[in-house]
Amino acid sequence: MGEIATRASDQKGQFTPAQAARLGVDRVTLRRDTRNSVVRSIRHGVYIFKATPFSPDEELRTAWLSLDPSRTVAKRLQAPEQIVICTTSAGQQHGIGDFGTPQHEFYSANRKHTRAKDIRLRIRTLEKKTLKLAIGYH
């Protein structure tokens, strides 16, 4: 789990089973480490190390990570126009206004489906020059 811990540290302690598999960590190991309280599942398909401190935007980051589980945050930030936080979720993330939304809202450059009831996707392509931040990963 050493390599996945390093990867997760670059992603605020979070990682996906697909990312773990690329580093040689199988689902049996993930289940064992969950049972032993090394990691915990925070959303279907997203784990976090138990030692990671709580962050107010943890749910939003987790939702964003779950939408493209095989690519790392670093790879995704090289093409951030693919899936971007938007509307009231963006306002809440950046402390603008007093929004309370039950759904995490994202723009996606391509049609994308999710079963998560707390995620809303809208199709929109954004120019790179309009993108300054991607969910607090700088």
Model-wide pTM > 0.85: no
Stretch 98-103: mean pLDDT: 76
In a domain, residue 137? The reply is no
In a domain, residue 15? The reply is yes
Residue range of the domain that includes 95: 2-130
In a domain, residue 135? The reply is no
In a domain, residue 93? The reply is yes
Structure-token pair, residue 82? 């693919």
In a domain, residue 136? The reply is no
Tell me: the pLDDT tens digits for 5-52? 988 998 999 999 999 999 999 999 999 999 999 999 999 999 999 999
In a domain, residue 87? The reply is yes
**What's the total number of domains in the chain?**
1
In a domain, residue 138? The reply is no
Confidence of residue 125 (pLDDT cuts 50, 70, 90): confident
> Picking from 75-79, 112-116, 125-129, which range would have the lowest pLDDT averaged per residue?
125-129
Tell me: the pLDDT tens digits for 44-100? 999 999 999 998 889 999 999 999 999 998 888 887 668 888 888 888 887 787 767
